[in-house]
Structure 1
Amino acid sequence: MKGENFEILKQVGVLSESSKGWRKEINIISWHGKEPKYDIREWDPEHKKMGKGITLTEAELKKLEDVLKSSR
């Protein structure tokens, strides 16, 4: 994603890793200097290239957790 301005504030965890070294990660990221959000996406080993992902506020992350718990 050329031109993206982001700062990884905290690496929360790795969900999986491909044979090519790309990792699906959960991180807390500030995009374009805005309020940090939880971010789930694939990254190359140097965190220079990324795949498409999803960003969630803390409230959305808690709601996702509730939805997943209730679906079990």
Structure 2
Amino acid sequence: MADIKYEIKEKLGTLSESSKGWTKELNLISWNGREAKYDIRDWAPEYEKMGKGVTLSKEELKELRNILNDINLD
């Protein structure tokens, strides 16, 4: 499998942390030298490993925000 290169441009927030220290985070990440996108995924401590995640463009993130704002969580 080819090496995946990434650069975390901005850490936006941590959604949760597991008992083993992995964190689920929202970050702005450049994958393989491309334009940075918003990314939600699990990270091991020190970012040495990552879990599967979802990457969103700015437009997709805005639409997700709109959907979440319309959900009644009470």
Deviation (angstroms), 1:2:
6.7
Distance (whole Å) between structure 2 residues aligned to residue 20 and residue 70 of structure 1: 33
Distance (whole Å) between structure 1 residues aligned to residue 27 and residue 15 of structure 2: 11
Match of 1:19 in 2: 19
Aligned length: 72
Write out the 4+ residue segments of structure 1 that deviate beyond 6 Å after TM superposition.
Answer: none
- C-alpha offsets along residues 17-70 of structure 1, whole Å, 9 cap, x if unaligned? 000000000000000000100000000011110000000011100000111112
Distance (whole Å) between structure 2 residues aligned to residue 68 and residue 19 of structure 1: 27
Q: Could you tell me which runs of 5 or more consecutive residues in structure 2 were left unpaired when the two chains were aligned.
A: none
Q: Could you tell me which runs of 5 or more consecutive residues in structure 1 were left unpaired when the two chains were aligned.
A: none
| Aligned ranges 1:41-52 → 2 under 5 Å | 41-52=41-52
* C-alpha RMSD of the superposition: 1.4
Distance (whole Å) between structure 2 residues aligned to residue 65 and residue 55 of structure 1: 14
What TM-score does the superposition give when structure 1 sets the normalisation length? 0.93
What TM-score does the superposition give when structure 2 sets the normalisation length? 0.91
